[in-house]
RNA sequence: GCCGGUGUAGCUCAGUUGGCCAGAGCAGCUGAUUUGUAAUCAGCUGGUCGGGGGUUCGAAUCCCUCCACCGGCUCCA
């Protein structure tokens, strides 16, 4: 007999060789119907794999990441089998589960492609196979057997994968007519998969290497219930409706021009105002934290970036130098603000008493992104960072770090990003030579970040080896209103630039010391942040940010003068108010302005004119009755004050 | 940059296998109507069909090429 410990620490005894499915069955038949995989002593296993020793286990259903993972991984195999039937001769690369679904990289053979029109055929084939209730069977094989098997099938990609594996740990999974090299785990059988959808196809280099063959990557998603697929499709449609590229155009916030150049956003008046409001908001917050504004030009001498080290690393893949007509000088469009800020630090000798210095600038930078990489406002070639560089003494690092976290948290709270996580990126302890700076400084910096995050109670993940070569960092990820993740702000510690620019301060020991730099951008970039804000809010911005807060709707032309008076009073109270004096019926005006996401519609007609009032309609909430203009102004002012306090 | 897809009016889209002056709705303009809580009616304007080249008696439609956009890959100071 063996002892099986469940997550609640209760212990059950079973005969050796019991499987996860047997255990589920013994707990409840209902559980047995829903369970998808099992964790055994920390490893995720198939439910059909025998357990031969004492173990702690956890059974996974759809709600667990592990359960979904097994489900989608098995679905990738199912799709592969479908492709094998539909495209004879297809060769397989890799087919993992991903955050939302799975993909399989396949080589269809020369000249063959899969297009949108083929998706339905693949989906139908998958469901046909699934309904046959094919078991996923695990076998363990020796390396030479595995090689022989796939060599015979002319699966050169699999052969390559196996060659890179250690002997003795190789497992195959087989369902129906499809056998794959796979670590698992998998579902018991294909019948769990009740709904399949092929989402897209794309090219993907074999093993991520652009010098190697490009395979066809087929993306799909599956569900244990048909209704869940329907819900997912609704979510995709909702995401489409919120797409910032679409709303940016519709709400007249920004545009792109082929003539200006790809990846170079043009901010339209309403978008520029929105952005300016965000900037002013952050400027005020930063003023309170002791930041000092600086302004630097958009270009700098090439030598500046040679000094910073960026030229060596990125020069060839950047916009190429600008040459002066006479002197033969070379300038680069600035790809970041830090070198300029370092020169500001160097303006005069600094004392330990001067530190920390916090130089802030909404600095516009230009980076040559590959053309296929550009995407709306989230990936552009010219963008403005809400940048600042803090120059401090090593002993001030943690305190400064905490203050930056405070700013980030305040921004998230004000803009209602209520769900977020932070990723701490540390250096790879086995690869220390990849990084610049002393061990002592690294340890100090990493400890500072970890402790600062703990003190602020951040929900963090730690990634080893993800640090920049010049220092560890903390990145913030927010979850938007429909559950998607976006990376926003970043805080990075840097020992490299102070070194390269030979930055110093005089300590209280009268000796020269090296300051530490913190790079930080709570929004990340204005472009990206506005994009995320649009997608998060679906264009229904917080009242204090929205371009037009209220529109006065006169019932007929007779009340245009009164409407004018109302809007003047409100605008004088800093409430951004427009008038819709088109020759339209009131129903039409309401409809159009609701669709424009105007927070408050103010209707004025005979009744309101007589009593000097307005009839208020709140966006999405209908008629709120009438009130005096002054009461409305006070109400709005109060509402904004509650949203944003600075 | 690479693979695949898309490109028709400001926006959303029709335009069958190449064939009269390229269409619709919305937006815009003009006029009528003077309106009470999510679309008043009528008329009009607007497109070198992404750019260039080619095939053809004839091209939005077929071919080549360039550009931009979309989905990914690679990259991201």
Q: What is the ipTM of this complex?
A: 0.94
Distance of A165 CA from B73 C1′ (whole Å): 25
A574 φψ region: left (φ > 0), alpha (ψ -120 to 50), beta (else): left
Which nucleotide comes closest to A305 if you measure CA to C1'?
Answer: B77
Which helix (H) or strand (E) segment is A118 a member of?
Answer: helix A116-130
Tell me, what's the pLDDT at A215? 87
Tell me, what's the pLDDT at A111? 65
Active site residues of A: 338, 367, 385, 387, 389, 473, 519
Residue A565: is it exposed, middle or buried by C-beta count within 10 angstroms (0-12/13-18/19+)?
middle
Q: Which of residues 249-268 of A touch strand B (CB under 7 A)?
A: 249, 256, 258, 262-263
Distance of A614 CA from B75 C1′ (whole Å): 56
Q: For residue A441, what are its two tokens? A: 């400084």
Q: pLDDT tens for residues A312-343?
A: 888 888 899 999 988 889 999 999 999 999 99
**Residue A557: count of CB within 10 angstroms of its CB:** 11
Residue A260 has what DSSP assignment?
T
Distance of A191 CA from B68 C1′ (whole Å): 45
In whole angstroms, give the CA distance from residue A442 to residue A164.
34
Distance of A252 CA from B48 C1′ (whole Å): 28
Task: Taking residues A427-438, report their average pLDDT.
Answer: 82
Strand, helix or coil for residue A195: strand
Distance of A115 CA from B62 C1′ (whole Å): 21
In whole angstroms, give the CA distance from residue A108 to residue A60.
35
> Which of A3, A7, A12 has its CA nearest to residue A53?
A3
Q: Which of residues 563-582 of A touch strand B (CB under 7 A)?
A: 582
Contact flag, residue A625 CB and nucleic strand B, below 7 A: no
Nucleotides of B under 7 A from a protein CB: 1-5, 11-12, 28, 31-40, 67-77
**Residue A484: count of CB within 10 angstroms of its CB:** 16
Task: Taking residues A627-632, report their average pLDDT.
Answer: 96
Contact flag, residue A627 CB and nucleic strand B, below 7 A: no
Tell me, what's the pLDDT at A465? 87
Task: Taking residues A587-616, report their average pLDDT.
Answer: 96
**Backbone angles phi and psi of A95, in degrees to 5:** -145, 80
Q: State pTM to two decimals.
A: 0.91
């Amino acid at each position: 007999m063996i002892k099986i410990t469940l997550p609640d620490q209760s212990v059950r005894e079973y005969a050796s060789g019991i499987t996860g499915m047997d255990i589920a069955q013994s707990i409840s038949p209902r559980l047995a119907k829903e369970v998808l995989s099992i964790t055994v002593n920390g490893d995720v296993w198939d439910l059909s794999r025998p357990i031969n020793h004492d173990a702690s286990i956890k059974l996974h259903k759809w709600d667990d990441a592990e359960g979904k993972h097994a489900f989608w991984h098995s679905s990738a195999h199912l799709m592969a089998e479908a492709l094998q039937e539909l495209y004879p001769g297809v060769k397989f690369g890799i087919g993992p589960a991903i955050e939302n679904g799975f993909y399989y990289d396949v080589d269809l053979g020369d000249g063959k492609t899969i297009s949108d029109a083929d998706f339905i055929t693949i989906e139908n084939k998958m469901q046909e196979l699934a309904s046959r209730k094919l078991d996923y069977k695990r076998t363990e094989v020796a390396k030479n057997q595995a090689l022989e098997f796939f060599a015979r099938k002319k699966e050169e990609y699999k052969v390559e994968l196996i060659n890179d594996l250690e002997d003795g740990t190789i497992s195959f999974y087989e369902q129906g007519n499809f056998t794959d090299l796979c670590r698992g785990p998998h579902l018991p059988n294909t019948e769990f998969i009740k709904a399949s959808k092929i989402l897209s196809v794309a090219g993907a280099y074999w093993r991520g290497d652009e010098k190697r063959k490009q395979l066809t990557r087929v993306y799909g998603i599956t569900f244990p219930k048909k209704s869940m697929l329907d819900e997912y499709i609704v979510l995709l449609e909702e995401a489409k409706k919120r797409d910032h590229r679409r709303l940016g155009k519709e709400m007249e916030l920004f545009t792109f021009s082929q003539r200006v150049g790809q990846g170079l956003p043009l901010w339209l008046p309403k978008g520029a105002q929105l952005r300016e409001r965000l900037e002013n908001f952050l400027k005020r917050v930063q003023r309170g934290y002791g930041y000092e504004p600086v302004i630097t030009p958009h270009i700098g001498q090439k030598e500046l970036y040679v000094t910073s080290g960026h030229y060596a690393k990125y020069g060839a893949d950047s916009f190429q130098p600008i040459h002066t007509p006479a002197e033969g000088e070379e300038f680069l469009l600035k790809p970041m603000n830090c070198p300029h800020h370092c020169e500001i630090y160097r303006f005069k000798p600094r004392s330990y008493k001067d530190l920390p210095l916090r130089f802030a600038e909404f600095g516009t930078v230009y980076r040559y992104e590959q053309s296929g990489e550009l995407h709306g406002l989230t990936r552009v070639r010219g963008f403005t960072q809400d940048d600042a560089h803090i120059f401090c003494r090593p002993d001030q690092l943690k305190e400064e770090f905490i203050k930056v976290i405070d700013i980030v948290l305040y921004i998230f709270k004000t803009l209602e990003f209520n769900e977020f996580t932070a990723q701490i990126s540390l250096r790879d302890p086995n690869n220390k030579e990849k990084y610049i700076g002393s061990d002592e400084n690294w340890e100090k910096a990493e400890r500072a970040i970890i402790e600062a995050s703990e003190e602020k109670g951040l929900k963090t993940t730690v990634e080893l080896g993800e640090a920049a070569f010049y220092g560890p960092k903390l990145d913030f990820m927010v979850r938007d209103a429909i559950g998607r993740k976006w990376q926003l702000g970043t805080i990075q510690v840097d020992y490299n630039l102070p070194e390269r620019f030979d930055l110093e301060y005089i300590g209280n020991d009268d000796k020269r010391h090296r300051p530490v730099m913190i790079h930080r951008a709570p929004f990340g970039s204005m472009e990206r942040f506005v994009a995320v804000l649009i997608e998060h809010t679906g264009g229904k911005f917080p009242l204090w940010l929205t371009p037009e807060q209220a529109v006065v709707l006169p019932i007929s032309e007779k009340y245009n003068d009164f409407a004018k008076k109302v809007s003047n009073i409100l605008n004088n109270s800093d409430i951004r108010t427009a008038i819709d004096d088109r020759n339209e019926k009131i129903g039409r005006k309401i409809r159009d302005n609701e669709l424009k996401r105007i927070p408050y519609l103010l209707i004025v007609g005979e009744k309101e004119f007589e009593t000097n009032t307005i009839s208020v309609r709140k966006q999405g909430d209908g008629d709120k009755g009438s009130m005096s203009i002054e009461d409305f102004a006070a109400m709005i002012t109060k509402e904004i004050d509650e949203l944003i306090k600075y």
